[in-house]
Amino acid sequence: MSKQFAVIGNPIEQSRSPELHHAFAAKTGVQLNYAKRLAPLDGFSASIHDFFSQGGAGMNVTVPFKEQAFAECAVLTERAKIAKAVNTLWMQDGQLHGDNTDGQGLVEAIKALGWTLENAELLIIGAGGATRGVIYPLVQAGVKKIVIANRTLARAEQLIADLKQAVPQAELSAVSLDNLAGNFDIAINATSASLSGDALLLPQALQFKQAYEMAYGKPSSFLDQAKARGVPASEGFGMLVGQAIESFRIWNGVKPNLKDFL
């Protein structure tokens, strides 16, 4: 019988995870079935326990349940502990295990573009959960300096205070979006501005060589401004595929090649 997987969220209809995992399975010869699972906002815990008690092999977790998934796990990977959010669940030795593959997905997507992370100086705009989830994998990939720019400066400062022990080899600093200036290798938009259709105005004093938008399939004023400056720019589809590949690797022990699915 093929292994059963699912992505759980609310809403869930928009999720592209089933098509990605079925494409990876077809390419690698793994037998699996991957479904969408809508959980009521107050029913996440019951839904995952029901899934695993029926023999489910693994689950991806999406909005708004990643923090709840983190709280449910008996065993967590280092990167999930630092992210304080889990997007990949499986049962092992009767215990619920959790990992967070979003950051590795971003790292692999950036590498697939041919952009360099080793010794890079990065700007990340935004200081929410999306930023928290990617700092540690980016530093593991060799990033030396990260400036976190946020509309609310105190939130960026708090995030750095939380994370700096986890990444002692990197230099982290916070700046308010209004005072943002300097020259960066890669600028990453980790705000939810594109998702909500809001504009994000980049200061003229800011310069960057490459631009990555974590959102995908939405108009992005961040990407528009990068393109207007003639800077190579990418939306976040590669990150989505990258995090799915990393989940697939954890569950099935085989790693599909990202570039085959872009």
Tell me which residues are annotated as active site: 66
The DSSP line for 175-211 is EEGGG--EEEEEEEE-SSTTTTT---PPPTTEEEEEE
Cis previous bond, 232, omega within 30: no
Which residue from 120, 187, 199, 185 is spatially nearest to 149, judged by alpha carbons?
187
CA atoms of 77 and 60, how far apart (whole Å): 15
Q: What is the DSSP letter of 73?
A: -
Quote the least distance from Cβ 90 to ligand ATR, whole Å.
23
Quote the least distance from Cβ 245 to ligand ATR, whole Å.
21
User: Based on CB atoms, which residue is closest to ligand ATR, 128 or 142?
Assistant: 128
Q: Which of 83, 109, 180, 200 binds ligand ATR (CB under 6 A)?
A: 200
Quote the least distance from Cβ 252 to ligand ATR, whole Å.
28
User: Based on CB atoms, which residue is closest to ligand ATR, 50 or 198?
Assistant: 198
Q: Which residues inside 26-45 make contact with ligand ATR, applying CB under 6 A?
A: none
CA–chain centroid gap for 148, Å, is: 16
From residue 62 to residue 101, the character string flagging contacts with ligand ATR as x (rule: CB under 6 A) and all else as - is ----------------------------------------
User: Based on CB atoms, which residue is closest to ligand ATR, 155 or 249?
Assistant: 155
From residue 103 to residue 142, the character string flagging contacts with ligand ATR as x (rule: CB under 6 A) and all else as - is -----------------------xxxxx------------
Residue of closest CB approach to ligand ATR: 128
Give the chain's radius of gyration (CA, Å).
18
User: Based on CB atoms, which residue is closest to ligand ATR, 63 or 231?
Assistant: 63
User: Based on CB atoms, which residue is closest to ligand ATR, 17 or 252?
Assistant: 17
Under the binding rule (CB under 6 A), the answer on residue 189 touching ligand ATR is no
Tell me the two tokens of residue 254: 């085989």
Q: Residues near 45 by Cβ (< 8 Å), separated by ≥ 6? A: 68, 72
- Neighbouring C-beta atoms of residue 124, cutoff 10 Å: 28
Under the binding rule (CB under 6 A), the answer on residue 193 touching ligand ATR is yes
In this structure, are residues 103 and 136 in contact, taking their beta carbons and an 8 Å threshold? yes
* 246: enclosing H helix or E strand: helix 237-252
In this structure, are residues 258 and 108 in contact, taking their beta carbons and an 8 Å threshold? yes
Chain residues that interact with ligand ATR, rule: CB under 6 A: 126-130, 150-152, 155, 177, 191-193, 198, 200
